């Protein structure tokens, strides 16, 4: 894992940039804001830009934490009870701005019409009633490791988080895939299209507002008829991964594939480590090279809960052009 500590001079430059930009955009969820911010990102301190470019080019590990930004906890206001209650222009505007600025140096932000009502920037907060779910909004239960949106062929290349608060130090878990030690036969099976990955529940209509989108048909189709996919791909010696074992299965009778998946789960489980995001941390995950999850924690539901912002990033917006309403839209239908 790589960590970059923002120094005092860099913090001052970031503060000045946020002061300048704070009043410029009503919402960051617009193609104009994202276009402008991708250019303003080049006003960030050069060391930070170099590290993000290095991360983008796989010159570093698949996890980059940037520390040292100071969140004004009083200004934030209470942690919302539901992502739906998070106002569009929020008291978290500065942190969202910085999240988008930093992210723009890695890849292009996008969202899903089928997740959090199509918002670009997600709130990752515990929701009452979701305690036991396999979603970012759960709390009491282990969120098992996964790559983000593993079921979807257009899933992001990277994932970016901003931690606003985490008073009880809930722990994100991360596992590197680069150096995975798997027997050659297992690795070879995992490279074959013998695995089903069902959509996770965050993309289901019941977890979005009624009528928020017409786009749930594809998710329902994937639920009924998942594509058969490979778990590992790319360089056999240093593979990329696409997996969400909780939502995965193999064809009945394909014991070889089932055993290969079980072996992968064992080896990845053994290599998982804790990453406790703290207020002011920004964290980038390479969604092809690492898996992530979260350990259980006790939510309070009283406005002081852990609160992360999250955005998906893609290397290639054009790949999803057929399922975005215009070249300018960042929402995949
Ligand atoms: O809450 C966390 O630390 C991670 C949750 C998660 O898997 C996600 O937001 O994608
Ligand atoms: Fe996740």
Residue 267 sits in a domain whose CATH number is 3.60.130.10
pTM for this prediction: 0.97
The CA-based angle 305-141-220, given to 5 degrees, is: 100
pLDDT in tens, 128-163: 999 999 999 999 999 999 999 999 999 999 999 999
DSSP E strand stretches across 59-210: 63-67, 108-112, 122-124, 143-146, 158-165, 172-176, 195-197
pLDDT given at position 22: 95
Tens of pLDDT along 103-112? 999 999 999 9
Closest atom, ligand 1, to C-alpha of 310: 9
Decide whether any atom of ligand 1 lies within 6 Å of the 115 Cβ: no
Ligand 1, atom 9, lies closest to the CA of 136
The reply to whether ligand 1 has any atom less than 6 angstroms from the CB of 107 is: no
Nearest Cα residue to 71 out of 170, 168, 162: 162
Domain ranges, residue 98? 2-332
How many domains, the chain?
1
Q: Are 74 and 23 in contact (CB under 8 A)?
A: no
Residue 310 Cα to ligand 2 midpoint, Å, equals: 9
- Looking at the CA of 308, name the nearest ligand: 1
| pLDDT per position as a tens digit, 81-103 | 999 998 666 789 999 999 999 99
Strand 63-67 vs strand 2-5: parallel, antiparallel, or unpaired? parallel
């Amino acid at each position: 894992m790589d960590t970059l500590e923002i120094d005092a001079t860099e913090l001052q430059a970031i503060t000045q940039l946020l002061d300048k930009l704070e009043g410029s955009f009503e919402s960051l969820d617009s193609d104009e804001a994202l276009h402008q911010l991708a250019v303003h990102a080049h006003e960030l301190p050069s060391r930070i830009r170099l590290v993000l470019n290095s991360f983008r080019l796989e010159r570093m590990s698949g996890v980059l934490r940037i520390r040292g930004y100071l969140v004004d906890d009083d200004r934030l206001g209470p942690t919302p009870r539901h992502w739906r209650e998070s106002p569009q222009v929020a008291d978290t505007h500065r942190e969202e701005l910085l999240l988008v600025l930093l992210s723009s140096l890695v890849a292009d932000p996008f969202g899903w019409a089928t997740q959090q009502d199509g918002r670009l920037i997600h709130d990752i907060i515990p929701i009452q009633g979701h305690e036991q779910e396999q979603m970012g909004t759960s709390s009491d239960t282990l969120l098992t490791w996964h790559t983000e949106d593993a079921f979807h062929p257009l899933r992001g290349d990277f994932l970016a988080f901003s931690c606003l608060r985490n008073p009880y130090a809930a722990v994100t878990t991360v596992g590197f895939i680069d150096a995975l030690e798997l027997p050659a036969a297992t690795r070879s099976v995992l490279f074959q299209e013998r695995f089903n990955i069902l959509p996770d529940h965050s993309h289901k209509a019941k977890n979005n507002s009624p009528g928020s989108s017409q786009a749930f048909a594809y998710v329902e189709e994937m639920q009924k008829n998942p594509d058969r996919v490979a778990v590992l791909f790319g360089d056999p010696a240093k593979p990329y991964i696409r997996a969400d074992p909780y939502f995965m299965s193999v064809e009945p009778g394909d014991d070889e594939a089932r055993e290969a998946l079980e072996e992968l789960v064992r080896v990845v489980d053994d290599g998982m480590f804790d990453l406790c995001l703290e207020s002011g941390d920004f964290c980038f995950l390479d969604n092809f090279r690492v898996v992530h999850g979260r350990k259980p924690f006790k939510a309070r539901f009283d406005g002081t809960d852990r609160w992360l912002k999250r955005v998906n990033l893609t290397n290639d917006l054009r790949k999803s052009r057929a399922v975005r309403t215009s070249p300018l839209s960042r929402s995949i239908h």
